């Protein structure tokens, strides 16, 4: 059926056209010519339309299609709003990160006009790191800022654009000359303004153009300098330097490795033509961490991304060197998934407090796992009536759900504060992102960082302890603007007061101890014991040591104990999954992400061919083992046979085997010519899939290409 | 010759200890002492120690034919010099041996031809073979029926050994494995014989022992098997293991499988050919395909409908700036066509949003045409200035920014051959990253992701969906031609008679005349020679040129070439070189078609 349909389509002729405009209206009987001819007159009526309106019907009703259109719309709006907010934040981070580099480079270019460094070409060596994807962004920004701020003409060269000297020159000249001119005043490039004709790779053309359109800098940027052929680079540099007195060339090199390696590739004489300065760009992983802080861990981030997808996104950054844009789009996709598939995402809308959930929503709420654990917990607390109304009273549940709306934010605040306090600890080595993911998945109790912190606090001397306490107090009081963590005095005033009180206490104790000519120490600092044991006999000394603690030391020890107790109480943060109704704001699924961003096409194709039943679900081809059934699609049969062959395949034998299999079935058995048709088709598909290629070793043989 | 020389060179080296031992012998006057010395020697060099007995052949070597001398030229001179010396040594030995019995002397002379052969055989085996020969044994065989076949056999073995060595020295373990195997076989079989021979010898040894004690000691049966096992069974086992070449175990990981299947000489296929099978023509293929009913049609249909359910999701993803790539087995073209219809129906207005479909599998697809079509979708009256694709892309972007149009680009088979060039993919990626362009494509091969480096891929901003459809590739693949190409039978051509007339209509009179001439010549050649292997016989380039000049079709070779090139561009002619390197021109049409074309041209 599909066959005949496709064949009918094929007669239409468009399938054999390389490119055409799809227009079913015009496709009707007279579709021999593409539609483009006939649409000439209609086009001018095009009225501008807001692209936003395209979003109108994108979301599908959930809850078995029972979701009201109102909720649907809310969900969609919630997505647009929350993502655009996050996107803005990310954009500003990106803008800021490259800002310093941009300014430095622009400054360098500007200052070099005056200097004229003994006829050497000013060149900025920009250490971009290995990430190709972020290079593009950087160079586009550079080009923009140089054009606007330094009035320069910038040519971006990628290694793919310029394979030889002529092509490179042609491109440079074209870009510079065509840059300012709009489509209106297109001019013949080969025709100089003085009426002379130039070859299109003659820099003289550029010079004469510049005579009429003066520009202080002509900047040639080699984006991926490592990928350029050394000879080509050398030639270009030589040429530029010889034209330097007539054309103000400046160079930018994107260097992925290091300046030393870059220099080593060039001849010494060539290097001497350059007047270089090195500029470092912020590396991709620090940018990623910044984005992570503003977009993922931020208190105002509407959606909490769970540990599973986060780990995958972060691992992908590390394993595939995926780069910043991919990180951002991964986040975006997670947002899309959440709002597209989760009916409770409605609760993340701005006007959520006014929303009344549908009965279907509430039904689903009651089956949530977090609801169950909440109910169990309430029962443990003997709040029976609460539970009863939760189960029976829709209005009550609705109200309760609305009350929980802020749970995301409060959880985020708690978790961030915990994180910051943990990060204060000097010996803390793991990265913020890692710590965040761990906290998300295990809660603070599962972290060994906590016990590390506590045990090291015990051993701290008073100075260290005071600085730590001060840090903690600032964190609690001031928060962190970048993360949206506000100083939240209201709920934690007692702890702030307590901690700062302890700091002053320690200070006084210190002073007292100093006056007495001793150093203040706690019972836990093991240092003293060791010192003493080396001096005098051990047994006596150990008991003696405890006795030597002064009263200040003792009170200090007590203070340390209270501090630890308090900090432990402060660092309370459960797993995100334990929060009631976390389903509305936590997205913790692996599945669509991995398939969508890290596909395994090989195994998919392999599976389709090995076990077509998995896809077709037909009655005929179901076999427990990977047996060859005569009813399998022809290509699958051939693939099974293919797996058994060596590197060289005799087509005659393959055909015999194939025909043997196909004809054996009584019901569907094919006659020879039909089988041959299927064989042909399967063979050609095998070729298209890249499994075989022609071989000249023997007659009627093909070579195997893939070992799956 | 050179390899053999090399191969023989080691002999003198091996001979050196022998000579030493022979020299020792006169020093130790008595037989008992010689025995001792011999045994000591054997301990050190088990095989050469026995050589003194075999070695005397050096003397007959001198007396024997010039062929021997020729060979010794290749030896290191010292050996040649040594021959004389050895001869004198031998005399001493012989003098000693005469104590034992006169018969031995006679035996030696009698056996020389055989032993001589032995000494000159492969150096690798030399020691082993020389082990065997004790004068006493020799008597049995020379006195018995050392028949012609044995000698022939030996020479065959000699040759095969040489072949083996040459192969090793030349270092080409290439395709002619059959020969190698044959050589190996001959070599092995003669070794078997040697072993049999040996068995006999060992039996004989018992008797000879009494006669010649020193001999027996040198080749005592108790010791021999050990040495022999080491020397002979080892290579033999190897040979056998190779011959068997068991099929590798089934669940090897892919890389192991690769090496298992690609080790030299691993691939042994039968020499069956498809000669007896009548290959399909386009007509037959399509007519059978029309009648054939795919019994999975319903399942395939269901699979497709299952994919259609995610259309809404795809359009959401597209609108959020992602590109989509559909992969998996089966043609995704019908699915994408449906998706295009879906999008088209969704669109609020067909002026500001357009769909452009690109068929990557079409052989003539070029990036310029694609960009041109997209530009004409943006503004039908606009013509993109042709030029460098990246320049075209820039002007397309400029055009887009001045129009408020959303374009959805649908690419069928983004990994098809015409689009595989890196430059093309970069352009596509830049296109996809433009905010007014949405891109959805399908990929057919399992390795498509290798097309994109990280920069290109992040510009594409792909999301991937598994869309295994099992739908046949009806349009994407030219099945018959593809398979024939795979089998090495070329069948690329313009679409039959109509295509040819169509092309010729647009060509000048000269071209028509030339084509007529070519058709006539090829038809004549078919009459004469008949078809060979599905291909028409060719006409020699020179002859055709001369005839064309005679008929005033063209005056210079230049013009002739130009005309031919036109045909070649339309794949109306084929050219190949025969064994001698003369260029042959032919036509990729069947005889009936050719006749029809000729009729057309004549009218």
Residues of A in contact with B390 (CB under 8 A): 161
Assess A191–B contact: CB distance below 8 Å, yes or no.
Answer: no
* DSSP codes joined into one string, A141-200: HHHHHHHHHH--EEEEE-TTT-SSHHHHHHHHHHHHHHTT--STT---TTB-TTS-B--T
CA–CA distance, B472 with B454 (Å, rounded to integer)? 32
Band (B314; pLDDT cuts 50, 70, 90): very high
**Whether residue B31 sits in one domain with residue B145:** yes
Residues of B in contact with A702 (CB under 8 A): 486-487
Residues 285-324 of A with CB under 8 A from B: 320-323
Mutate to test the interface with A, among B301, B353, B376, B413 (most CBs of A within 10 A): B376
Asked if A45 lies within 8 A of B351 by C-beta distance, the reply is yes
**Whether residue B431 sits in one domain with residue B352:** yes
Q: Give the other-Cβ count within 10 Å of B213's Cβ.
A: 15
**Whether residue B155 sits in one domain with residue B85:** yes
Note whether residue A87 is domain-resident: no
Which residues, in sequence order, are bridge partners of residue A253? A125, A222
Token code pair at residue B497: 């008679």
Mutate to test the interface with A, among B251, B299, B392 (most CBs of A within 10 A): B299
Question: If you measure CA to CA, which chain A residue comes closest to B379?
Answer: A43
Q: How far is B67 from chain A (nearest CA, A)?
A: 41
> Which of B117, B201, B195 is closest to B156 using CA atoms?
B117
What pLDDT does B441 receive?
93
Asked if B296 lies within 8 A of A633 by C-beta distance, the reply is yes
The proportion of chain B whose per-residue pLDDT surpasses 90, expressed as a percent, equals: 9
Which of the residue ranges A337-346, A666-675, A685-694, B41-50 would you say has the lowest mean pLDDT? B41-50
Instruction: Give Cα A203 to chain centroid, integer Å.
Output: 42
CA–CA distance, B201 with B430 (Å, rounded to integer)? 85
**Whether residue A380 sits in one domain with residue A239:** no
DSSP-assigned letter for residue A132: H
Higher pLDDT, B42 or A379: A379
Note whether residue B97 is domain-resident: yes
B28-49 average pLDDT score: 43
The proportion of chain B whose per-residue pLDDT surpasses 70, expressed as a percent, equals: 57
**Whether residue B54 sits in one domain with residue B135:** yes
What's the domain range around A217? 98-282
**Whether residue B350 sits in one domain with residue B217:** no
Which residues, in sequence order, are bridge partners of residue B584? B540, B576
Which of the residue ranges A469-478, A676-685, B259-268, B571-580 would you say has the lowest mean pLDDT? B259-268
Q: Is the pLDDT of residue A138 over 80?
A: yes
Note whether residue A67 is domain-resident: no
Note whether residue B338 is domain-resident: yes
Q: Report the run of H or E that residue A354 belongs to, with start and end.
A: none
Token code pair at residue A379: 């029962």
Rounded (10°) angle between helices A369-380 and A384-392: 150
Instruction: Give Cα A654 to chain centroid, integer Å.
Output: 47
Q: How far is B181 from chain A (nearest CA, A)?
A: 19
Instruction: Give Cα A70 to chain centroid, integer Å.
Output: 33
**Whether residue A606 sits in one domain with residue A457:** no
**Whether residue A252 sits in one domain with residue A184:** yes
**Whether residue B70 sits in one domain with residue B35:** yes
Note whether residue B575 is domain-resident: yes
What value, to the nearest 5°, has the Cα angle with vertex B48 and ends B45 and B50? 110
Assess A684–B contact: CB distance below 8 Å, yes or no.
Answer: yes
Note whether residue B13 is domain-resident: yes
SS3 readout for B328-344:
CCCCCHHHHHHHHHHHH
B223-242 average pLDDT score: 42
Residue A622: CATH number of its domain: 1.10.10
**Whether residue A405 sits in one domain with residue A539:** no
Query: Whose structure tokens read 């203070």?
Result: A559
Assess A647–B contact: CB distance below 8 Å, yes or no.
Answer: yes
Picking from B302, B380, B461, the nearest residue to A39 by CB comes out as B380
Note whether residue B54 is domain-resident: yes
CA–CA distance, B598 with B518 (Å, rounded to integer)? 10
Domain count, chain A: 5
Q: Give the other-Cβ count within 10 Å of A572's Cβ.
A: 12
Interface predicted TM-score (ipTM): 0.79
**Whether residue A367 sits in one domain with residue A266:** no
Asked if A700 lies within 8 A of B274 by C-beta distance, the reply is yes
Assess A680–B contact: CB distance below 8 Å, yes or no.
Answer: yes
CA–CA distance, A263 with A233 (Å, rounded to integer)? 12
What's the domain range around B503? 492-602
Asked if B294 lies within 8 A of A3 by C-beta distance, the reply is yes
Q: How far is A440 from chain B (nearest CA, A)?
A: 27
Q: Do A3 and B472 meet the contact criterion of CB atoms below 8 Å apart?
A: yes
**Whether residue A177 sits in one domain with residue A187:** yes
Q: Is the pLDDT of residue A601 over 80?
A: yes
Q: Do A229 and A102 meet the contact criterion of CB atoms below 8 Å apart?
A: no
Higher pLDDT, A294 or B171: A294
Band (B495; pLDDT cuts 50, 70, 90): low
CA distance from start to end of chain A: 32
Q: Is B581 left (phi over 0), alpha (psi -120 to 50) or beta?
A: left
Higher pLDDT, B365 or A528: B365
What pLDDT does B440 receive?
94
**Whether residue B129 sits in one domain with residue B76:** yes
Q: Is the pLDDT of residue B445 over 50?
A: yes
Note whether residue B411 is domain-resident: yes
Q: Do B365 and A19 meet the contact criterion of CB atoms below 8 Å apart?
A: yes
Q: Is B152 left (phi over 0), alpha (psi -120 to 50) or beta?
A: alpha
Residues of B in contact with A19 (CB under 8 A): 356-359, 365, 369-370, 372-374
**Whether residue A201 sits in one domain with residue A123:** yes
**Whether residue B401 sits in one domain with residue B527:** no
Note whether residue B269 is domain-resident: no
Note whether residue A83 is domain-resident: no
Asked if B390 lies within 8 A of A161 by C-beta distance, the reply is yes
**Can you say whether the dihedral through the CA atoms of A231, A233, A236, A242 is positive or negative?**
negative
Residues 155-174 of A with CB under 8 A from B: 160-161, 171, 174
**Whether residue A372 sits in one domain with residue A488:** no
Residues of B in contact with A689 (CB under 8 A): 329, 444-446
Q: How far is B299 from chain A (nearest CA, A)?
A: 5
**What is the reported pTM?**
0.67
Token code pair at residue A421: 């306090």
CA–CA distance, B563 with A464 (Å, rounded to integer)? 92
* DSSP codes joined into one string, B473-536: -TTT--HHHHHHHHTT-----SSHHHHHHHHHHTS-HHHHHHHHHHHHHHHHHHHHH--BTTBP
Band (B43; pLDDT cuts 50, 70, 90): very low
**Whether residue A594 sits in one domain with residue A495:** no
Q: Is the pLDDT of residue B52 over 70?
A: no
Q: End of a domain among B227, B243, B259?
A: B243
Which of the residue ranges A76-80, A540-544, A645-649, B550-554 would you say has the lowest mean pLDDT? A540-544
**Whether residue B78 sits in one domain with residue B209:** yes
Q: How far is B589 from chain A (nearest CA, A)?
A: 20
Asked if B254 lies within 8 A of A2 by C-beta distance, the reply is no
What pLDDT does A545 receive?
52
Assess A53–B contact: CB distance below 8 Å, yes or no.
Answer: yes
Note whether residue A565 is domain-resident: yes
Residue A124: CATH number of its domain: 3.40.50.300
Residue B344: CATH number of its domain: 3.40.50.300
Asked if A650 lies within 8 A of B269 by C-beta distance, the reply is yes
Q: Is the pLDDT of residue B329 over 70?
A: yes
Residues of A in contact with B494 (CB under 8 A): none
Domain count, chain B: 3
Which of the residue ranges A5-14, A21-30, A579-588, B149-158 would you say has the lowest mean pLDDT? A5-14
Asked if A602 lies within 8 A of B447 by C-beta distance, the reply is yes
SS3 readout for B400-460:
HHHCCCEEEEEEECCCCHHHCCHHHHHHHHHHHCCCCEEEEEECCCCCHHHHCCHHHHHHH
Note whether residue B264 is domain-resident: no
Highest mean pLDDT among A24-33, A148-157, A417-426, B332-341 belongs to: B332-341
Note whether residue A51 is domain-resident: no
CA–CA distance, A511 with A506 (Å, rounded to integer)? 9
B341-355 average pLDDT score: 85
DSSP-assigned letter for residue B170: H
Note whether residue A170 is domain-resident: yes
CA–CA distance, B487 with A652 (Å, rounded to integer)? 10
Q: Which long-range contacts (CB under 8 A, 24 or more apart) does B227-232 make?
A: B227/B46, B227/B47, B227/B131, B228/B128, B228/B131, B228/B198, B231/B47, B231/B127, B231/B128, B232/B128, B232/B191, B232/B195
Q: How far is A360 from chain B (nearest CA, A)?
A: 23
Q: Do A708 and A649 meet the contact criterion of CB atoms below 8 Å apart?
A: no
Query: Whose structure tokens read 């032995």?
Result: B118
Q: End of a domain among A232, A255, A282?
A: A282
Q: Is the pLDDT of residue B23 over 70?
A: no
DSSP-assigned letter for residue A630: T
Q: How far is B424 from chain A (nearest CA, A)?
A: 11
Which residues are CB-contacts of B592 (< 8 A; sequence separation ≥ 6)?
Answer: none
Q: End of a domain among A563, A598, A633?
A: A598
Query: What would the pLDDT profile of B277-304 be if each residue is shown by its tens digit?
Result: 888 888 888 888 888 888 888 888 999 9
**Whether residue A535 sits in one domain with residue A461:** yes
**Whether residue B356 sits in one domain with residue B496:** no
**Whether residue A490 sits in one domain with residue A430:** no
Assess A59–B contact: CB distance below 8 Å, yes or no.
Answer: yes
Asked if B356 lies within 8 A of A22 by C-beta distance, the reply is yes
What pLDDT does B324 receive?
94
Asked if A160 lies within 8 A of B474 by C-beta distance, the reply is no
Q: Is the pLDDT of residue B557 over 90?
A: no
């Amino acid at each position: 059926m599909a066959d005949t349909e496709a064949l009918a389509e094929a007669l239409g002729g468009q399938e054999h056209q390389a490119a055409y405009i799809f227009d079913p209206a015009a496709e009707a009987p007279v579709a021999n010519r593409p539609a483009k001819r006939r649409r000439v007159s209609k086009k001018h009526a095009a009225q501008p339309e807001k692209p936003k309106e395209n979003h109108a019907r994108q979301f599908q009703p959930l809850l078995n299609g029972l979701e009201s259109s109102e909720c649907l719309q809310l969900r969609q709006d919630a997505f647009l709003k929350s993502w655009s907010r996050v996107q803005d934040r990310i954009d500003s981070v990106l803008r800021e990160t490259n800002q310093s580099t941009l300014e430095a480079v622009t400054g360098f270019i500007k200052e070099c006009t005056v200097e004229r460094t003994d006829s050497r070409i000013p060149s900025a060596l920009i250490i971009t790191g290995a990430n190709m994807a972020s290079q593009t962004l950087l160079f586009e920004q550079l080009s923009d800022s140089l054009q606007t701020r330094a009035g320069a003409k910038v040519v971006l060269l990628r290694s793919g654009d310029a394979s030889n000297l002529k092509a490179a020159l042609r491109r440079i000249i074209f870009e510079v000359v065509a840059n300012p001119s709009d489509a209106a005043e297109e001019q013949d490039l080969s025709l100089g303004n003085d009426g002379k004709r130039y070859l299109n790779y003659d820099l003289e053309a550029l010079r004469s153009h510049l005579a009429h359109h003066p520009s202080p800098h002509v900047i040639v940027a080699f984006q991926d300098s490592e990928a350029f052929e050394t000879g080509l680079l050398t030639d270009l540099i030589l040429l530029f330097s010889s034209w330097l007195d007539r054309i103000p060339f400046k160079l930018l090199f994107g260097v992925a490795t290091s300046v030393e390696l870059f220099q080593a590739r060039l001849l010494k004489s060539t290097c001497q033509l350059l007047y270089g300065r090195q500029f470092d760009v912020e590396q991709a992983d620090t940018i990623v961490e910044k984005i992570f802080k503003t977009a993922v861990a931020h208190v105002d981030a509407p959606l909490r991304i769970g540990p599973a997808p986060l780990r995958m996104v972060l691992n992908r950054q590390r394993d595939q060197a995926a780069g910043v844009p991919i990180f951002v789009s991964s986040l975006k996709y997670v947002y899309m998934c959440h709002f597209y598939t989760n009916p409770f995402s409605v609760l993340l809308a701005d006007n959520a407090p006014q929303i009344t959930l549908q009965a279907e929503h509430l039904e689903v709420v009651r089956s949530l796992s977090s609801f169950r654990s909440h109910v169990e917990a309430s029962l443990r607390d003997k709040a029976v009536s609460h539970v009863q109304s939760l189960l029976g009273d829709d209005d009550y549940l609705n109200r309760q759900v609305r009350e929980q709306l802020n749970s995301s934010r409060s959880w985020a605040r708690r978790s961030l504060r915990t994180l910051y306090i943990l990060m204060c600890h000097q010996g803390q080595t793991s990265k913020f992102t890692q710590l965040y993911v761990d906290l998300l998945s295990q809660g603070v109790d599962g972290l060994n960082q906590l016990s590390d912190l506590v045990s090291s606090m015990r051993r701290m001397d008073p100075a260290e302890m005071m600085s730590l306490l001060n840090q903690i107090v600032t964190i609690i009081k001031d928060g962190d603007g970048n993360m949206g963590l506000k100083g939240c005095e209201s709920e934690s005033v007692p702890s702030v007061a307590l901690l700062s009180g302890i700091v002053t206490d320690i200070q006084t104790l210190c002073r007292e101890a100093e006056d007495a000519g001793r150093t203040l120490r706690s019972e836990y600092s093991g240092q003293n014991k060791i010192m003493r044991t080396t001096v005098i006999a051990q047994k006596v000394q150990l008991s003696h040591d405890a006795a030597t603690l002064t009263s200040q030391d003792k009170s200090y020890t007590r203070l340390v104990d209270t501090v630890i107790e308090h900090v432990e109480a402060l660092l309370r943060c459960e797993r995100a999954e334990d929060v009631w109704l976390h389903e509305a704001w936590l997205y913790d699924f692996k599945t669509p992400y991995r398939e969508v961003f890290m596909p395994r096409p090989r195994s998919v194709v392999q599976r389709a061919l090995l076990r077509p039943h998995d896809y077709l679900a037909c009655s005929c081809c179901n076999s427990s083992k990977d047996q060859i059934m005569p009813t399998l699609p022809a290509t699958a049969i051939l693939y099974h046979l293919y797996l058994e062959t060596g590197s060289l395949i005799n087509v005659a034998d393959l055909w015999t085997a194939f025909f043997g299999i196909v004809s054996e079935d009584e019901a569907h058995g094919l006659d020879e010519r039909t089988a041959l048709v299927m064989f042909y088709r399967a063979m050609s598909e095998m070729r298209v899939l890249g499994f075989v290629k022609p071989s000249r070793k023997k007659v009627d043989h093909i070579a195997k290409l893939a070992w799956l | 010759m050179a390899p053999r020389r090399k191969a023989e060179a080691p002999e003198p080296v091996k001979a050196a200890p022998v000579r030493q031992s022979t020299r020792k012998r006169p020093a130790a006057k008595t037989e008992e002492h010689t025995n001792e010395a011999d045994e000591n020697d054997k301990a050190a060099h088990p095989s050469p120690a026995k050589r003194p007995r075999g070695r005397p052949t050096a003397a007959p070597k001198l007396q024997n034919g010039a062929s021997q001398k020729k060979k010794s030229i290749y030896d290191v001179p010292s050996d040649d010099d040594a021959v004389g010396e050895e001869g004198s040594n031998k005399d001493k030995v012989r003098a000693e041996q005469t104590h034992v019995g006169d018969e031995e002397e006679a035996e030696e002379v009698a056996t020389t031809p055989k032993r001589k052969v032995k000494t000159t055989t492969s150096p690798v085996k030399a020691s082993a073979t020389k082990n065997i020969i004790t004068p006493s044994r020799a008597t049995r065989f020379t006195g018995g029926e050392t028949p012609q076949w044995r000698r022939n056999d030996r020479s065959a073995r000699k040759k095969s050994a040489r072949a083996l060595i040459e192969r090793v020295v030349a270092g080409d373990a290439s395709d002619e494995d059959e020969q190698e195997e044959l050589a190996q076989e001959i070599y092995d079989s003669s070794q078997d014989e040697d072993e049999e021979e040996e068995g006999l010898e060992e039996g004989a040894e018992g008797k000879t022992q009494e006669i010649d004690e020193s001999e027996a000691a040198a080749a005592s049966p108790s010791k021999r098997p050990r040495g022999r096992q080491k020397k002979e069974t080892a290579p033999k086992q190897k040979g056998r293991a190779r011959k068997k070449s068991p099929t590798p175990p089934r669940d090897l990981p892919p890389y192991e499988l690769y090496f298992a299947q690609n080790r030299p000489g691993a691939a042994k296929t039968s020499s069956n050919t498809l000669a007896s099978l009548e290959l399909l023509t386009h007509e037959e293929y399509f007519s059978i395909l029309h009648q054939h009913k795919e019994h999975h049609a319903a399942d395939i249909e269901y699979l497709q409908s299952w994919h259609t359910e995610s259309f809404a999701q795809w359009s959401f993803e597209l609108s959020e700036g992602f590109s989509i790539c559909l992969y998996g087995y089966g043609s995704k073209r019908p699915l994408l066509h449906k998706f295009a219809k879906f999008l088209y129906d969704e669109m609020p207005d067909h002026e500001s949003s357009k769909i452009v479909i690109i068929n990557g599998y079409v052989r003539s697809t070029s990036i310029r045409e694609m960009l041109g079509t997209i530009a004409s979708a943006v503004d039908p009256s606009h013509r993109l200035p042709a030029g460098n694709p990246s320049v075209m892309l820039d002007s397309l972007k400029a055009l887009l920014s001045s129009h408020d149009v959303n374009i959805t680009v649908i690419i069928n088979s983004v990994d098809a051959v015409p689009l595989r060039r890196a430059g093309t993919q970069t352009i596509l990626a830049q296109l996809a990253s433009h905010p007014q362009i949405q891109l959805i494509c399908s990929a057919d091969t399992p390795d498509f992701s290798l097309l994109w480096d990280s920069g290109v891929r992040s510009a594409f901003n792909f999301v991937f969906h598994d869309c295994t459809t099992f739908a046949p590739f009806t349009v994407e693949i030219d099945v018959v031609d593809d398979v024939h190409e795979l089998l090495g039978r070329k069948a690329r051509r313009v679409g039959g008679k109509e295509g040819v007339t169509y092309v010729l209509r647009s060509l000048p009179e000269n071209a028509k005349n030339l084509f007529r001439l070519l058709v006539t010549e090829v038809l004549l050649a078919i009459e004469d020679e008949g078809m060979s292997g599905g291909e028409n016989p060719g006409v020699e380039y020179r002859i055709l040129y001369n005839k064309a000049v005679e008929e005033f079709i063209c005056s210079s070779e230049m013009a002739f070439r130009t005309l031919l090139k036109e045909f070649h561009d339309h794949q109306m002619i084929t050219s190949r070189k025969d064994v001698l390197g003369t260029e042959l021109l032919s036509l990729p049409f069947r005889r009936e078609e050719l006749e029809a074309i000729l009729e057309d041209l004549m009218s």
